[in-house]
Chain A
Amino acid sequence: MRRVSALAHTSVGKKVLMAVTGFIWFGFLVGHMAGNLKAFTGAEHFDEYAHHLRVFGEPMVPPMGFLWTFRLLVLVAFVGHVILAWQTSRGSHAARQVAYRKQEHLSFSRASGFMRWGGVAILVFVIFHLLHMTTGQLHPDFVEGAAYANLVGGLSSPVVAGLYVLAMVAVSAHLYHGLWSLFQTVGAAHPKYHAARRPLAVAAALVIFFGFISIPVAVLTGVLTF
């Protein structure tokens, strides 16, 4: 912990911690996506999977124990990522109080300019998503435990489904630049691997994008029904 807090004392350390927390989220997204795709195997399977997450490790682990530990880890990573983003962007704003009258966009990565606002969009989406699919307040006919029905029901509105697709655009773009700059940030950048970095980041972002949007698309096109 001392080392982690020491890292958080410098701007570079903050960036490294953001990379680590971001990467945890990348891992989470991969798992989440794999889970989602189980919807294609049928309602029964999907509900069973959702139930299994709650009782994972029983009886060694109390009910919901695994899920909450996992949620906690993801939550800490998420909150940490957001706080660090908030701190660093505030620092950056303070670092240039007078804007240029004219400034050309000099950068080798277009997505980098999108990180902050994209991040804010993702934050809003995550809150919506939790209230929609996990706790149900924003879901018209939410039934606790009926994961498949909730999923298909929740996405049957084209507006909501479109929202999810849009959110995935933001997530993928964020992920693309995040993954790409991860190596730079943790200092693993090396001229030898430069060429591979961008395709890898693009591939990962695309997999996540299509993996996730396949669900709302499938619901809208009737591939997934009650």
Chain B
Amino acid sequence: MNFTLHVWRQDGPEVPGGFETYEARDISEHMSFLEMLDLVNEGLTHDGHEPVAFEHDCREGICGSCGMMINGVPHGPKGMVATCQLHMRSFRDGDEIWIEPWRATAFPVLRDLAVDRGALDRIIDAGGYISVRTGSPQDANALLIRKEDADLAMDAAQCIGCGACVAACPNASAMLFTAAKVSHLGLLPQGQPERYTRVLDMVTQHDREGFGNCTNHGACQEACPKGISVDFIARLNRDLVVSTWKTAGD
């Protein structure tokens, strides 16, 4: 298979970027999208150019490092996969492919397709945890958790922190990311004591990072490689209302 790639190249956060066009030749349909980029990069290196910078690590869809806008869709057209799990069989021979970095003010471009997603980490800093000291807990089976609750918490906990939700959202909102963590912890009995402070702190940090607000578009859910549902955003909204009610009433 052969493809024409239009790849966003940008040397640094402060430098303007632009598209470069590359031809990808003799691509196997079994190649992953990143393997196709590897091949392009090998060619660029041989020709004395700098290869396209993109983030990747596990290449099995769990680390959340990779991610790029492929023909206007985060992680490409397949759905329910990270870019590393997208295979060239999802494209047609001769396709033109536009490749762009995640675009959000909160995700400055570091180079080419690599962006800084530190803002997501700082949302976790604001309260995305359960405060428990190492060594102090009770026996694990002393706490009974309904299977349904554990399963739902796990649905939310699957988030890989790739940022596709932000990339897809017309408002560049990270509400799905935030909601996934708020819901994961808020659904479990262990997470109850901090439930309402957590949601307020995390949403406040979310806003401070410069992410947009959620307008119930639903693009995030469509783009999420783990299929995390916007129902978790509803859950977050509810918790936030309760939270402001409680804290402002004090």
Contacts and interface: CB of A to CB of B under 8 A. Distances in A.
**A touching B, CB within 8 angstroms:** yes
Interface of A: 2-3, 5-7, 9-16, 88, 91-109, 112-113, 115, 177, 180-181, 183-191
A187 B72 contact: no
Contact of A92 (B72, B172, B235): B172
Contact of B73 (A3, A94, A98, A106): A106
26 contacts: A7-B244, A9-B204, A10-B240, A10-B244, A11-B212, A12-B214, A14-B213, A15-B213, A88-B215, A92-B170, A92-B212, A95-B104, A95-B171, A95-B211, A96-B104, A98-B103, A100-B100, A102-B69, A102-B72, A102-B98, A107-B218, A184-B216, A184-B230, A185-B234, A187-B240, A188-B238
A184 B230 CA distance: 8
Nearest to A94: B105
Contacts of B217: 107, 109, 112-113
Interface in B60-79: 69, 71-73
Interface residues of B, number: 53
Given A100-B72, A187-B239, A189-B230, 6 more contacts: A9-B204, A12-B203, A95-B171, A95-B172, A95-B210, A96-B171
Contacts of A7: 241, 244, 248
Contact of B222 (A11, A94, A107): A107
A97 B213 contact: no
A130 to B, nearest CB: 27
Contacts of A13: 240-241, 244
Nearest to A5: B248
A177 B218 CA distance: 12
Contacts of B180: none
Interface of A is mostly: helix
Contact of A11 (B19, B100, B207): B207
A102 B183 CA distance: 32
Contacts of A91: 171, 207, 212-213
Interface string B85-122: 00000000000001010011110000000000000000
A68 B69 CA distance: 52
B207 A6 contact: no
B71 A104 contact: yes
A103 B171 CA distance: 13
B240 A186 contact: no
Contacts of A99: 103
Contact of A188 (B19, B222, B234): B234
Contacts of B238: 186-188
Given A7-B241, A98-B103, A100-B69, A112 B218 contact: yes
Nearest to B220: A106
Interface core residue of A16, A96, A98 (most chain B CB under 10 Å): A96
B219 interface: yes
Nearest to B106: A95
Contacts of B210: 94-95
Contacts of A181: 215-216
B85 to A, nearest CB: 18
Contact of B241 (A16, A112, A190): A16
Contacts of A10: 200, 203-204, 207, 240, 244
B206 to A, nearest CB: 7
